[in-house]
Amino acid sequence: MAIPAIDHFAPDRRGARHRHPCLGRGPDPGAGRGARGEGRGWHDTAFVVNGWYISASEALTDVRGNRVGMLYAGIPKAPYTEARRVTLMMIGAAFLLVCGLFVPLALTWARGIFRPIAAMRDTITLVEAGDMGARTGAVAGAREIALVSAHLDQLLAQLECREQELRGRNQDLNARVEERTEDLTRANQALQATSRQLILAEKLATIGEVTAGIGMKSTTRWR
């Protein structure tokens, strides 16, 4: 345990020479200037004789307010330095112990989160590749992640139903287009046949008119 050394310094002396090591050579010059000359307190570390001390001083005044000296105290710094070192070592050891216990738990917790997310990512990748029947299924993990996975499966099921519906409508539309195309093809063929018949009838009528004209001319000559 550190034993403090306390002494009083009057303006006409520098303190006892053979007391505590902190006071063996009198107060620190900064303490003397601060407490006696400027009338303010002072505290700092100072190297005295053979070691560092935590020192402090305070001005002393009489009943009239005149400074009559100062009160000087010094405590060896080594015990506090050692205590701080031990405390820091204990804090570091406690931190390492907590990290050693917490890191495995954190990794387990993280795997419980990232594994379901990775499964959902794989499902989305399969859906993007064209497998509309891909589902994540039940996942082990937090309740919120399980709800997200179930909701994703529901959305994928709705998407699959919509796609099947669109495929059915597309097939129906293709069938109607083919039917209309066949109707147009038949109508076009009938129109072409009618056009050929009309052209043939016009040709026959023209031939008939020419034949009738020739016959009339021949009859006129014979007469």
Domain boundaries along the sequence of the chain? 5-76, 104-192
pLDDT exceeds 70 at position 86:
yes
DSSP letters for 121-146: HHHHHHHHTT-TT-------S-HHHH
pLDDT exceeds 50 at position 121:
yes
pLDDT exceeds 50 at position 120:
yes
pLDDT exceeds 60 at position 35:
no
d(CA 142, CA 105): 15
Q: What is the pLDDT at residue 68? A: 80
Q: What is the pLDDT at residue 42? A: 75
Q: What is the mean pLDDT of the chain?
A: 76
Q: Which residue has the higher pLDDT, 203 or 6?
A: 203
**pLDDT > 90 fraction of the chain, expressed in percent and rounded:** 9
Q: Is 74 exposed, middle or buried (0-12, 13-18, 19+ CB in 10 A)?
A: buried
pLDDT exceeds 70 at position 46:
yes
In this structure, of 29-33, 64-68, 97-101, 152-156, the range with the lowest mean pLDDT score is 29-33
Q: What is the pLDDT at residue 36? A: 43
pLDDT exceeds 80 at position 175:
yes
For the chain, the distance separating the N- and C-terminal CA atoms, rounded to the nearest angstrom, is 169
Q: What is the pLDDT at residue 145? A: 75
CATH of domain 5-76: 3.30.450.20
Two structure tokens written together for 116? 């379901």
User: pLDDT per residue over 156-167, tens digit each?
Assistant: 888 888 888 888
d(CA 199, CA 16): 148
What global pTM score does this model have? Answer: 0.37
Categorize the per-residue pLDDT at 221 as very low, low, confident or very high, splitting at 50, 70 and 90: low
Cβ neighbors of 70 (< 8 A, separation 6 or more) are 8, 9, 27, 31, 32, 35, 36, 57, 58, 59, 60
Q: What is the pLDDT at residue 19? A: 40
* Run of H or E including 9: strand 5-9
